[in-house]
């Protein structure tokens, strides 16, 4: 029986450990915290997993919270204008629902399940010198702990890492009591963009105390949202979150009058540079270890892909290991396994890095056109589940122009100053007689907001 060591008990490490365990591998999992310590700790992320990522959990039978977590059926984008208006405001419907489960709940549950199924759990911090010894004792060592000394072993890939500093200051708050968005009667992730300032994401989730919502600010470093670093009190963190919503996004702030923190551990703040690293690290003795998920591909959370990438990486590595059979897990195998995962992750990285920069004209036009064209809103929303599709239109000005031209030719796109070609093209809750602008007019409004 092949012996495999996984260091780190997050989405990728635990999912991979449970998958390998089901296929008869002797798996040891090392983690710095017990399940109870995870449950009793601070929130770790803003995870929203889309259909394809959820499917990787279903295939392993570890989707334990699917019947309890809120069903997220849409994704909406709003852009704040300088006068408090919303020149861009639409919601797309997802083909398959998304879900968010507090990682304190999920990781603790998975860790206990892995142990109950006979897996060996070692609760202890790990150093590079520890790995040097472990690499001689196991057939394969994987590092899925995305922070600290172990990550520094993996060399930054400058050719795939355009940023060398954090591009956003992050502030997360879990709350109960948030009111609904009146524009639609289904649950949706809401992406609110404040040009030149940052973004607020709001998503339904399941936490330790039941259904809740996540308020997630991403602020441009040094800007007015970059104010959470020294805040230690959870109540003060919530108050500041709400004050910023009142200032920049009054339509979202109106939903917050009854909110309260889910628990004392329901806040988080920090920042990190988006980085792609070389997948294989060489230890002092010459032994090799393979990096997993955030260790080797750490994107900014602006596109909500962290847990999705982790699930896809775990599924990809599991397939590579199973297909490899009894052959040695050498450098060639490790690089080939990463390349297989990178074929998916590269699309996420390109899209995420693009979202961190000011939007180019074709994206402004696309978002504006989505105001009155449900096809566009739906395609952008579903791109969060299939990021490779963004290469065809979102990241390609020519592809975007062709796409808009195809919609116009089919009568599914509102011409400048014209009426919607489809009865359902008006955003939900809008006045069909309000004279909403067409793509060009919407683009001009968005440009005005972006350059205020």
Q: Report the number of distinct structural domains present in the chain.
A: 3
Are 140 and 227 in a shared domain? Answer: no
Place of tokens 């984008």: 77
Are 31 and 172 in a shared domain? Answer: no
Are 403 and 436 in a shared domain? Answer: yes
pLDDT band, very low/low/confident/very high, at 316 (cuts 50, 70, 90): very high
Are 10 and 152 in a shared domain? Answer: yes
Task: Return the pLDDT at 148.
Answer: 80
Asked whether residue 315 carries a pLDDT value surpassing 90, the answer given is yes
The boundaries of the domain holding residue 376 are 361-450
Last residue of a domain, one of 329, 353, 377: 353
Task: Return the pLDDT at 176.
Answer: 98
Q: Of the given ranges (77-81, 187-191, 372-376, 445-449), which has the lowest mean pLDDT?
A: 445-449
Asked whether residue 428 carries a pLDDT value surpassing 90, the answer given is no
Torsion of CA 175, 177, 178, 182, to 10 degrees: 160
Within a domain: residue 49?
no
Asked whether residue 206 carries a pLDDT value surpassing 80, the answer given is yes
Are 144 and 285 in a shared domain? Answer: yes
Contact 227, 236 (CB under 8 A): no
Task: Return the pLDDT at 147.
Answer: 76
Task: Return the pLDDT at 417.
Answer: 43
Are 109 and 255 in a shared domain? Answer: no
Asked whether residue 30 carries a pLDDT value surpassing 50, the answer given is yes
Task: Return the pLDDT at 146.
Answer: 67
Mean per-residue pLDDT, 83-112? 96
Long-range contacts of 409-415 (CB under 8 A, 24+ apart): 412/373, 412/375, 413/369, 413/372, 413/373, 413/375, 413/376, 413/439, 414/369, 414/372, 414/373, 414/438, 414/439
Within a domain: residue 311?
yes
Q: Give 251-307 pLDDT, tens digit per residue.
A: 999 999 999 999 999 999 999 999 999 999 999 999 999 999 999 999 999 999 999
Are 236 and 286 in a shared domain? Answer: no
Within a domain: residue 194?
yes
Contact 416, 409 (CB under 8 A): no
Are 261 and 206 in a shared domain? Answer: yes
Within a domain: residue 402?
yes
Q: Tell me the CATH number at 321.
A: 3.50.50.60
Are 266 and 397 in a shared domain? Answer: no
Q: Give 137-165 pLDDT, tens digit per residue.
A: 999 999 998 678 899 999 999 999 999 99
pLDDT band, very low/low/confident/very high, at 346 (cuts 50, 70, 90): very high
Last residue of a domain, one of 311, 328, 353: 353
Q: Give 36-71 pLDDT, tens digit per residue.
A: 999 999 999 999 999 999 999 999 999 999 999 999
Last residue of a domain, one of 255, 270, 285: 270
Ramachandran quadrant class, 50 (left: phi over 0; alpha: psi -120 to 50; beta: rest): beta
pLDDT band, very low/low/confident/very high, at 414 (cuts 50, 70, 90): confident
Are 72 and 172 in a shared domain? Answer: yes
Are 240 and 388 in a shared domain? Answer: no
Task: Return the pLDDT at 275.
Answer: 97
Within a domain: residue 48?
no
Are 409 and 442 in a shared domain? Answer: yes
Q: Tell me the CATH number at 171.
A: 3.30.9.40
Token code pair at residue 280? 């294989």
């Amino acid at each position: 029986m092949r012996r495999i060591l996984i260091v780190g008990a997050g989405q990728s490490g635990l999912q991979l450990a449970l998958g390998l365990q089901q296929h008869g591998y002797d798996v040891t999992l090392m983690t710095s915290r017990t399940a109870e310590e995870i449950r009793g700790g601070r929130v770790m992320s803003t995870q929203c997993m889309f259909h394809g990522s959820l499917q990787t959990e279903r295939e392993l039978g570890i989707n334990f919270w699917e019947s309890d977590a809120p069903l997220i059926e849409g994704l909406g984008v709003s852009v704040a204008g300088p006068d408090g208006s919303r020149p861009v405001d639409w919601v797309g419907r997802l083909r398959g629902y998304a879900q968010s489960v507090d990682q304190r709940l999920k990781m603790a549950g998975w860790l206990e399940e892995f142990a109950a199924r006979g897996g060996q759990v070692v609760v202890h911090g790990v150093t590079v010198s520890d790995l040097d010894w472990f690499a001689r004792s196991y057939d394969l060592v994987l590092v899925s702990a995305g922070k600290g000394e172990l990550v520094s072993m993996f060399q930054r890939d400058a050719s795939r890492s355009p940023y060398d500093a954090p591009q956003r200051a992050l502030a997360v708050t879990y709350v109960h009591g948030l009111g609904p968005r009146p524009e639609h009667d289904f649950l949706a992730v809401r992406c609110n963009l404040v040009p030149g300032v940052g973004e607020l994401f709001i998503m339904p989730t399941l936490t330790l105390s039941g259904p809740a919502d996540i308020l997630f600010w991403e602020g441009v470093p040094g800007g007015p949202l970059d104010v959470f670093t020294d805040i230690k009190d959870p109540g003060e963190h919530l108050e500041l979150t709400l004050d910023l919503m009142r200032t920049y996004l009054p339509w979202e702030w109106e939903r917050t009058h009854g909110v309260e923190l889910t628990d004392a551990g329901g806040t988080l703040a920090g920042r990190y540079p988006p980085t792609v690293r070389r997948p294989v690290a060489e230890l002092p003795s010459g032994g090799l270890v393979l990096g997993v998920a955030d260790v080797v591909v750490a994107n900014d959370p602006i596109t909500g892909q962290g847990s999705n990438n982790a699930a896809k990486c775990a599924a990809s590595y599991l397939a590579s290991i199973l297909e490899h059979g009894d052959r040695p897990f050498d450098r060639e195998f490790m690089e080939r396994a990463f390349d297989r995962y990178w074929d998916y992750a590269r699309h996420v990285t390109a899209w995420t890095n693009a979202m961190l920069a000011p939007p180019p004209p074709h994206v402004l036009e696309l978002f504006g056109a989505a105001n009155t064209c449900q096809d566009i809103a739906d395609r952008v929303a579903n791109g969060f589940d299939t990021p490779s599709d963004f290469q065809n239109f979102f990241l390609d000005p020519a592809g975007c122009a062709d796409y808009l031209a195809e919609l116009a030719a089919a009568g599914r796109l509102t011409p400048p100053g014209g009426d919607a070609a489809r009865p359902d093209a008006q955003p939900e809750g809008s006045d069909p007689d309000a004279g909403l602008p067409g793509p060009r007019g919407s683009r001009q409004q968005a440009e005005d907001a972006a350059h205020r």
